[in-house]
Amino acid sequence: MHWYEKLNQYFPVEEMKSREHMETLLKERPEIYHKDEGTKHVLMYVELDDFVFIDYLFVSKEARGEGLGHKLIEKLKKKKKAIILEVEPIDYEDTDTEKRLKFYKREGFEHARSIGYSRRSLATNKMNELEILYWSPTNESEEKIFEAIKKTYNMIHTYKDKEFYGQSYQPVDEVLKKRKDYEDLLEDI
């Protein structure tokens, strides 16, 4: 099965980029957009000077429990850069969402609680809420994580979006927000 089909069967339609979008990123942005593929996994990621963004991580059901996901994350951690990803909130009707979050927690990822992420899906026109998770070897501030995810959104998610989808995604300042209540809570402490 083609790597894109593996991803497309596993990830919700609201989160998927088109095949053309991803193949164009691999072709036109090879210095930053990468694919690590094996018979049991597909890892799509962005690597910049100061962070790595995991766009998609798929491990086949047959390989779960073998430590493959851990090995892939360890490979990225060896780059000694912050690692950032978007993950859907837990949906108790979809057990994979809870398993996914537990996996990243075991790998040392933290919630970026001060960052809100809500984007309209071009596929379904529904609002899609996502959580930002990160791992950092140097205890990066959530402010730096916020700036990194904004950079990723502008460089990767919206790359030629009008060409691929016939319309553009929302501007980054509409999609990513600092959660004011979290900042107010920190000030009270």
- Its pTM stands at 0.91
Give the pLDDT of residue 91.
Answer: 61
Give the pLDDT of residue 171.
Answer: 96
Highest mean pLDDT among 64-68, 123-127, 134-138: 134-138
Give the pLDDT of residue 24.
Answer: 98
Confidence band for 183, pLDDT divided at 50, 70 and 90: very low
Give the pLDDT of residue 134.
Answer: 97
CB 43 within 8 A of CB 37: yes
Give the pLDDT of residue 133.
Answer: 96
Over pLDDT 90: what percentage of the chain? 72
How deeply is 102 buried, as exposed, middle or buried, from its count of CB atoms within 10 A (0-12, 13-18, 19+)?
exposed
H-only helix segments in 153-179: 161-165, 172-175
For residue range 24-61, list pLDDT tens digits in order. 999 999 999 999 999 999 999 999 999 999 999 999 98
Which contiguous run of DSSP H or E holds residue 69?
Answer: helix 68-77
CB atoms within 10 A of CB 155: 16
CB 74 within 8 A of CB 43: no
Confidence band for 93, pLDDT divided at 50, 70 and 90: low
* Structural domains present in the chain: 3-188 (3.40.630.30)
For residue range 62-76, list pLDDT tens digits in order. 888 889 999 999 999
Q: Who has greater pLDDT, 187 or 14?
A: 14
Give the pLDDT of residue 85.
Answer: 96
Confidence band for 181, pLDDT divided at 50, 70 and 90: low
